[in-house]
C-alpha cells in the first residue's frame, strides 16, 4: 500500500534560481526527495502539472478529480496527497470534495515560502499531509486541507493571509484537528456533508460570475453579467443589496439567469425572515434566488460543478 503524491505546481514546487522570480519548476519527485521523515512511507508520485495555481482551469480541476477517483479505486493506494499553489487551493480542494465520495483519505497541501527562501514550509506541510493521509481516522472525511499543522475540511478551508505561512483557516468553526509530532489529534467532524456530483465535461464552464456587493454598487456591477451561465453574489450582511442592484437582479431573473446568493461576511449565514426592505431577503425570495452558505469563491465552484452535473437547484437551498 502506498500514498500517492499528486504534484501540480505552485510555490511548494517553485524556485527562483534565475534571479528572484519564483516559478514552478520542481517535480513531485523533487518535493518528496526534499522532505525529511518520509523514509518509512511507501510513496508513488503522479506528476500532474507544473503550474502556478492561478493558471488552473476548471477543466484541469475535473481532470484532477478523475485522477483522485482512479487512485481511490486502486487497491494499492492507501491515501492521496495533492500539492498545489495556495492561491486557488481552497477552490480546487472544494471542487475535488464535491466530486468525491470515496473512503481513501485525500489531503491537499502547498506552501507559502518556496524552497529557495529561508524556512520553506513545503516539506513540513507535505510531511503533515502524508501523515494525515495515513491516519485511519482520516478515512471517509471527504477532502481535507493540511497546512501549517492544521487539518481543515475542504468545504470550509480558506486562505486568509496573502503572505503568512499559517494562511489556511476555517472561520467560525476552526480546524478538524492538528498535526503534532507526525500524528493527528482530531477534535471535530465536518458536519453538513455535501452531495457528490458527477460533472459532465461538456457542460463544465468557467462562465459563472462572482459579484461582491459593495456600498452604493451600481446596477452595472450586476447587469454586466446578464449573459453569464450563473451569477453568484456575495451580498452585504445577512443578504442585502443596494437599490440599483435590485433593478439589475430583477432583469437577470426575468431572463432566467440563475442567481445564487451568499454573504460577504467571513462568518455566518443569510437571513430568511428578518428584514423586509427592498433589497433584503424578502426580495431575494420573491425573485427566486438560491442561497449558499459558503464564501463567494466556493459558492462559484459549487455552482460550476452543480451546473455541469445539471443539478443546480438540488445543490443550493431556496431562501
Residues that bind ligand DAS (CB under 6 A): 10-11, 52-53, 85-87, 110, 112
List CB contacts of 230: < 8 A, sequence separation 6 or more: 208, 209, 257, 258, 259, 260, 303, 304, 307, 312
The length of the chain in residues reads 319
Compute how many other C-beta atoms are within 10 angstroms of the C-beta atom of residue 157. Answer: 29
Nearer to ligand DAS, 52 or 142 (CB): 52
List CB contacts of 75: < 8 A, sequence separation 6 or more: none
Kind plus residue range of the DSSP H or E element containing 30 = helix 28-33
Nearer to ligand DAS, 53 or 236 (CB): 53
How far is the C-alpha of 47 from the C-alpha of 72, rounded, in Å?
Answer: 17
Nearer to ligand DAS, 121 or 281 (CB): 121
- Choose, from 8, 11, 35, 283, the residue flagged as catalytic: 11
Nearer to ligand DAS, 17 or 200 (CB): 17
Question: Can you read off the three cell numbers belonging to residue 114?
Answer: 518556496
**What does R_g of the chain's alpha carbons equal in angstroms?**
20
Nearer to ligand DAS, 112 or 252 (CB): 112
Burial of 102 (0-12, 13-18, 19+ CB in 10 A): middle
Sort strands 183-186 and 177-180 into parallel, antiparallel or unpaired.
antiparallel
Shortest approach of ligand DAS to residue 110 CB, angstroms?
5
In order of 164, 172, 237, 241, 263, the CA distances from 213 in angstroms are: 27, 22, 10, 7, 9
Residue 165: closest CA among 207, 111, 218 = 111
Question: Can you read off the three cell numbers belonging to residue 63?
Answer: 481532470
Report whether 129 contacts 146 (CB < 8 A). Answer: yes
Nearer to ligand DAS, 82 or 217 (CB): 82
283 carries an active-site annotation: no
Shortest approach of ligand DAS to residue 55 CB, angstroms?
8
How far is the C-alpha of 152 from the C-alpha of 179, rounded, in Å?
Answer: 11
Question: Can you read off the three cell numbers belonging to residue 16?
Answer: 527562483
Shortest approach of ligand DAS to residue 8 CB, angstroms?
9
Angle between helices 89-98 and 296-308 (to 10 degrees): 40
Q: Which residues are catalytic?
A: 11
Amino acid at each position: 500500500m502506498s500514498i500517492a503524491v499528486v504534484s501540480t505546481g505552485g510555490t511548494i514546487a517553485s524556485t527562483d534560481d534565475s534571479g528572484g522570480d519564483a516559478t514552478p519548476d520542481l517535480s513531485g519527485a523533487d518535493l518528496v526527495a526534499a522532505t525529511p521523515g518520509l523514509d518509512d512511507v511507501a510513496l508513488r508520485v503522479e506528476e500532474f502539472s507544473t503550474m502556478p495555481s492561478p493558471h488552473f482551469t476548471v477543466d484541469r480541476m475535473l481532470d484532477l478529480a478523475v485522477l483522485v477517483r482512479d487512485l481511490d479505486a486502486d487497491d494499492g493506494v492507501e491515501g492521496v496527497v495533492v500539492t498545489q499553489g495556495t492561491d486557488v487551493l481552497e477552490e480546487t480542494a472544494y471542487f475535488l470534495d464535491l466530486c468525491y465520495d470515496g473512503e481513501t483519505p485525500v489531503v491537499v497541501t502547498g506552501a507559502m515560502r518556496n524552497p529557495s527562501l529561508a524556512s520553506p514550509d513545503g516539506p513540513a506541510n507535505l510531511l503533515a499531509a502524508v501523515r494525515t493521509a495515513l491516519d485511519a481516522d482520516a478515512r471517509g472525511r471527504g477532502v481535507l486541507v493540511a497546512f501549517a499543522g492544521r487539518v481543515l475540511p475542504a468545504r470550509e478551508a480558506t486562505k486568509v493571509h496573502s503572505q503568512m505561512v499559517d494562511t489556511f483557516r476555517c472561520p467560525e468553526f476552526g480546524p478538524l484537528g492538528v498535526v503534532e509530532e507526525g500524528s493527528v489529534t482530531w477534535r471535530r467532524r465536518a458536519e453538513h456533508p455535501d452531495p457528490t456530483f458527477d460533472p459532465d465535461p461538456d457542460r463544465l464552464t468557467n462562465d459563472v460570475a462572482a459579484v461582491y456587493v459593495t456600498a452604493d454598487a451600481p446596477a452595472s456591477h450586476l447587469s454586466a453579467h446578464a449573459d453569464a451561465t450563473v451569477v453568484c453574489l456575495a451580498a452585504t450582511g445577512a443578504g442585502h443589496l443596494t437599490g440599483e442592484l435590485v433593478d439589475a437582479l430583477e432583469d437577470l431573473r426575468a431572463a432566467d439567469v440563475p442567481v445564487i446568493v451568499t454573504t460577504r461576511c467571513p462568518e455566518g449565514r443569510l437571513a430568511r425572515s428578518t428584514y423586509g426592505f427592498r433589497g433584503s431577503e424578502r426580495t431575494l425570495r420573491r425573485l427566486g434566488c438560491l442561497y449558499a452558505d459558503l464564501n463567494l469563491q466556493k459558492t462559484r465552484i459549487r455552482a460550476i460543478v452543480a451546473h455541469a452535473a445539471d443539478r443546480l437547484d438540488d445543490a443550493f437551498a431556496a431562501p
